[in-house]
Structure 1
Amino acid sequence: MHAALAGSPVPSAEALRRSAARLVAALAAHDDAEYRLAVLKRVVRRLGEEQYPLFLRLLNVIAESDDTRAKRLVADTFGTALRRMDLPGGALSSWGATRLPESTGPLAASALSGHFFGATPRRLLGPVEYLVVWHLQRTQRVTLGIGTFQQALAKLIGLLDHSAEARVLYPQKLAADAQNELEGAYTRTTREHLAALARAWQAGLPPGDIARAAAESHADTPQRTWIVRDL
């Protein structure tokens, strides 16, 4: 994956590979599915809320590897999380809660600090939902570019497809999320994209086609004034 993580040093490719290998080793050391889920959630917790994109990058490293057993271990752990409705999630600010500070002149950079966004309601999102919201909605993060979004989403779905349970339960969850208009976490456009993603996934399409289905109505979302960055 490209580019830097906001607010932190850029991990080297070797550092990411070592961290991914340690994560897989920790999961492989235990046969208990619940314990593996606890390990995965502990990794997310130790990274911290603002570093959830780093967790996504670790998942991408595993997805890019040729270690089928490692992929199955991670995917099966997500299957357990989906069954328990307890996904290791990251927080993004709610779309309806993000408001610009009042100002009669140009906005100072300090007005858009983490403290400003930290005051807005946030909701924990699983890795797939996180990528979709990051790409489509205005949150505390700079918008994720469409190319990186599709690439990251395709790799993540390819990884999750190594678990029959995750392959069935995750699109079901996304379809249910797309029907929920009361939560306030998703815009109407985001719900439409989640529904398209769920349909494509349930139809058994290849990961790349699923990612394209999730982004195909992107042109309908105005972005001319948005700042776009890579993951």
Structure 2
Amino acid sequence: MTAAPSATSLRAAADRLVSALAAHADPEYRLTVLKRLVRRLGEDRYPVFLRLLGVVAESDDPRAQRLLADTFGTALRRMDLPGGALSSWGATRLPDAAGPLDASAFASGQFFGGSPRRMLGPVEYLTVWHLQRTQRTALSADTFRTSLARMIALLNQSEDARTLYPQKLAVDAQNELEGAYTRATRERLAAIAAAWKAGRTPDAIAQAALDAGAGDAPRGWVLRDL
């Protein structure tokens, strides 16, 4: 198991990311840099990417925040968000092939014939991680609220991101995509979109997401922090 990165290493990595983005004036190339980082981290380490965004969001460097947020604005205009994948255990299926099972199926999480996965942007990823049964232990409500508010505060540094992201979430909330979002998740996404469009503060938006589905977390879940 890979050890969690230290606070020092996260700050150093965030600084390198901002420097790499600042070195290029082309917004499209900046998006390429961001997506390349996500690919290098790998699917299982998308939460590390979210933590890097959080480091920038909590910094006292508004230029770095705008640079990163504007890159997400470019991604939203292209409908190409740097995303991570979460499995959807509710939509799993048994293997089609007969015969003995390959032991690697257990290790890779594909025992049920390949759990459907969909690439999720940062806000959607946090929401699904908090609400749905995935390959990860669910996020606690407090961590979800804090992480979501921090993410929205960062994205609000870009006019494009502030305008386009809630529009995307509102559309996602209307789509019953197979294996992607449960009803509870769609309700939360709709609440986030509505509060964000209304210009509420990041903390109020995060609280609106929790209030939209208060009491609907499945019992017996083990919760963890980001």
TM-score normalised to structure 2 length: 0.91
Read off the aligned partner of 1:10 and give its amino acid letter.
A
Mapped to 1, the partners of 2:10 and 2:76 lie a distance apart of: 26
Correspondence 1:29 to 2:19: no
User: C-alpha distance in 1, partners of 2:148/2:109?
Assistant: 29
Does the 8 A contact of 1:179 with 1:191 survive in 2?
yes
Please say if 1:121 is aligned against 2:116.
Answer: yes
- Percent of aligned positions with the same letter in both sequences? 68
Of 29, 39, 64 in structure 2, the residue corresponding to residue 45 of structure 1 is 39
Q: Give the Å deviation of 1:218.
A: 3.7
Indicate if the aligned counterparts of 1:37 and 1:80 stay in contact, CA closer than 8 A. Answer: yes
Tell me how far apart the structure 2 counterparts of residues 204 and 219 of structure 1 sit (CA, whole Å). 22
Letter matched to residue 134 of structure 1: W
Q: Deviations over 1:137-190 (max 9, x none)?
A: 001111011101100000000000000000000000000000111443000111
Residues 208 and 40 (structure 1), Cα distance of their counterparts in 2 relative to 1, 3 Å cut: same
1:225 aligns with 2:220: yes
Q: 1:12 aligns with which of 6, 17, 20?
A: 6
Amino acid in structure 2 at the alignment position of 1:207: P
Distance in structure 1 (CA, Å) of the matches to 2:149 and 2:201? 8
Write out aligned runs for 1:59-208 (5 A): 59-98=53-92, 113-116=107-110, 119-208=114-203
Letter in 1 for 2:208: A
8 Å contact 2:123–2:148 — kept in the other structure? yes
Moved more, 54-63 or 216-225: 216-225
Structure 2 unmatched runs, 5+: 95-103
How many pairs does the alignment contain? 217
> For the residues of structure 2 that align with 1:48 and 1:90, how far apart are their CA atoms?
9
| Secondary structure of 2:119 counterpart | strand
Is 1:211 aligned to residue 206 of structure 2? yes
Shift in Å, 1:220: 3.0
Q: Which has the higher contact order (CA 8 A, sep 6+)?
A: 1
CA RMSD of aligned residues (A): 2.0
Distance 1:84 1:99 in 2: 33
Structure 2 contact 138–223 (Cα < 8 Å) conserved: yes
What CA distance in whole angstroms lies between the structure 1 residues aligned with 2:197 and 2:46? Answer: 26
Alpha-carbon displacement from aligned partner over 1:171-215 (angstroms, at most 9, x marks no partner)? 000000001114430001110110000000000001000001111
CA distance in 1, matches of 2:36, 2:177: 30
Any idea what SS the aligned residue of 2:214 has?
Answer: helix
Give CA deviations for 1:116-147 in whole Å, capped at 9, x if unaligned.
47821111000000000000000111101110
C-alpha contact 1:201 1:210 (8 A) present in aligned 2 = yes
Change (3 A) 1:111 1:142: farther
User: What corresponds to 2:52 in structure 1?
Assistant: 58
The Cα shift of 1:222 comes to 3.6
Q: Aligned AA for 1:152?
A: S
Task: Determine if contact 1:114/1:140 at 8 Å carries over to the other structure.
Answer: no
Give the C-alpha shift of residue 49 in structure 1: 0.2
Length-normalised TM-score, structure 1? 0.89
C-alpha distance in structure 2 between counterparts of 1:45 and 1:114, whole Å: 18
8 Å CA contact 2:93–2:114 kept in 1: the answer is no
How far off is 1:217 after superposition? 3.3
How much has 1:219 moved relative to structure 2? 2.9
